[in-house]
Amino acid sequence: MAKEGADMTEETQFMIDTNPGKEPEHVESSGDAKEMRAVVLAGFGGLNKLRVTKKAMPEPQDGEVKIRVKACGLNFLDLMVRQGSIDNPPKLPIVPGFECSGIVESVGENTAGFEIGDRVMAFVNYNAWAEVVCTPADFVYKMPEEMSFAEAAAFSLNFVAAYMMLFEVANLREGMSVLVHSAGGGVGQAVAQLCSTVPNVTVFGIASCSKHAAIRDSVTHLFDRNVDYMQEVQKISPEGVDIVLDCLCGENTAKGLTLLRPLGTYILYGASNMVTGETKSFFSFAKSWWQVEKVNPIKLYEENKVIAGFSLLNLLFKHGKCNLVKSVMDKLLCLFDQKKIKPVVDSLWALEEVKEAMQRIHDRGNVGKLILDVEKSPTPLMASDSTETSEAGEEEEEPEEDNDSKERMPFIH
């Protein structure tokens, strides 16, 4: 196995093949207008598969917008992509990242609705973690004036997903109850805020104890993810809950279905339990596929229950629902203007700090969204701290020798 720093030959060779103009890592600025800095994933596996390198500057195609990126969102899914723990993993190398905010630098032919200089946020089918991104105008939205670039990068995916699950897939109404896993994460915080726009909604949040102080006010009831939350919820609400939002999968699917009230809806919108200490292989997705409990439609009939799956990225990039997403974004921007919702930013990281940021989301240390701030310089290493962070997907790796893996102090928002 290639050791980063100590033995980079394999990966270096690989990058030379695909990025002939590449420069050494940690380039601080993109002096050459034909090149840009980007985070590149060179192979599936641990943190050492990521690096910052120069890539050729993309140019907008027909119908596309070219964006000078200011901030990018980091999601748990990016970690699963890095491990290859998703269905149909992409062909490598790629630049990861599905969302960003920035300024329109140019537009392709037949691209309507945007002008150079527009402040925008956008979905990208990979490639977001770079200084410049091109994406179809259908996936680009103008930012409100009052929204910062970091907030915009924290907004799109989390709030659109939360809104569509609560109001499109389920039908959240006055007096209902919602259970949300990872209540401290980006989607969890968006769910909590959107629930508060409907009268008298009870939110059961599940989160690590370490986050409880920070998020206690955002939910009605808060439970430790390590306790038997089923029993706790049933104590408070013996009838169960109306909506369960689960990004974990595994045993939580059966628990979620059990907790549903009649006519209640369980929505699976992620499968982060697939990222475990034991697996980081291509097969972990398939493995989980077989391990997850199947649902009998006749049981749903007997119990008057609904089970749904929701993947915003598939909806956008596979299922062609960008018009629907645009209409949802319009509603969300109204709520933002009315100051009813506001994205929660956990911390800002330089592109060069992507490994530390990923470690933080892996350890579920974040409250709200992790943001890659493209213009930020890496925070100097703490001289006092040379402890290696242990990352669950990396047991088989040699310890990383390069400075990147030393802990940095993030810019906590």
**Residue whose CB is less far from its own copies, 113 or 262:** 262
Spacing of C-alpha 133 from chain mean position: 18
Structure tokens at 127: 């490639």
The verdict on 314 binding its own copies (CB under 8 A) reads yes
210 lies in the binding site for its own copies (CB under 8 A)? no
| Beta carbon nearer to its own copies, 80 or 153 | 80
- Using the rule CB under 8 A, is 315 a contact of its own copies? yes
Binder among 103, 169, 198, 381 for its own copies (CB under 8 A)? 169
Other Cβ atoms less than 10 A from the Cβ of 232: the count is: 16
Closest approach of Cβ 55 to its own copies, in Å? 30
- CA atoms of 389 and 362, how far apart (whole Å): 11
- Per-residue CA distances from 146 to 122, 187, 203, 325, 380 (Å): 17, 21, 28, 22, 31
* Residue 232 lies near its own copies (rule: CB under 8 A): no
The two three-digit tokens of residue 238, written as one number: 């013996």
Nearer to its own copies, 21 or 309 (CB): 309
309 binds its own copies (CB under 8 A): yes
C-alpha span between 115 and 343 (Å, rounded) = 26
Q: Is 198 in the site for its own copies (CB under 8 A)?
A: no
Give every CB contact of residue 179 below 8 A, 6+ residues apart in sequence: 203, 204, 205, 206, 233, 241, 243, 244, 245, 256, 259
Based on the shown chain and the rule CB under 8 A, indicate whether residue 268 belongs to the binding site for its own copies. Answer: yes
Q: Which is nearer to its own copies, 91 or 294 (CB)?
A: 294
Give the count of residues interacting with its own copies (CB under 8 A).
42
Residue 160 zone, left/alpha/beta (φ > 0; ψ -120 to 50; rest)? alpha
Which of residues 156, 158, 273, 288 is near its own copies by CB under 8 A? Answer: 288
Work out which of 29, 298, 338, 339 binds its own copies, going by CB under 8 A: 298
Bridge partners, 349 (sequence order): 372
Site for its own copies contains 295 (CB under 8 A): yes
Interface ranges with its own copies (CB under 8 A):
87, 168-169, 171, 249, 253, 261-263, 265, 268-271, 288-289, 292-311, 314-315, 318-319, 321, 324
